[in-house]
Amino acid sequence: MTKAPTVYDVAHHAGVSIATVSRVLSRPDDVKPATRERVLGSVAALGYVPSGAARGLAARRTGVIGLFFQGLDAMDDLGDIALEGDEASAGGARIIRDVPERADTRVLNLYFDEVLRGCELESWRSGFSLLVGVGRGDTATQTVRDMAGRVDGLMVLAGSASEEELAQLSRHVPIVVMAGPRRGDELDHVSVSNAEGMRALTAHLIDDLGARDLEYVSGSVDSPDDAERWDGFVMAHVERELSTPATPTLRGDFTRDGGRRVGRELMQRERLPRAVVCANDQMALGVIDAARIAGVTVPDELIVTGFDGIDAGRLSTPRLTTVRQPMETLGRVSVQALARRLAEPKLPAMSVRLPVEVLLRESSEPSSTS
Domains and CATH numbers, the chain: 10-50 (1.10.260.40), 64-73+106-192+327-354 (3.40.50.2300), 194-325 (3.40.50.2300)
pLDDT value of position 284:
97
* Positions of the chain with pLDDT lower than 70, given as ranges: 1-2, 50-61, 71-91, 96-109, 137-138, 367-370
pLDDT at 369: 46
- pTM listed for this prediction: 0.76
Largest Cα separation within the chain, whole Å, is: 87
| Cis peptide bond N-terminal to 33, omega within 30 | no
Question: pLDDT at position 59, please?
Answer: 52
Q: What is the predicted pLDDT for the residue at 55? A: 54
Q: Under 8 Å CB-to-CB from 201, ≥6 apart: which residues?
A: 232, 277, 305, 307, 321, 323, 358
Under DSSP, is residue 130 helix (H, G, I), strand (E, B) or coil?
A: strand
3-state secondary structure of 1: coil
Residue 273: exposure state from Cβ atoms within 10 A (0-12, 13-18, ≥19): middle
Q: Where are the alpha helices (DSSP H) in the chain?
A: 7-14, 18-26, 33-46, 52-59, 110-126, 139-148, 163-169, 194-207, 224-239, 256-267, 281-294, 311-315, 327-343
Residue 319's alpha-carbon distances to 133, 194, 217, 361, in angstroms, are: 34, 21, 19, 6
- Got the DSSP string for 220-235? -TT-HHHHHHHHHHHH
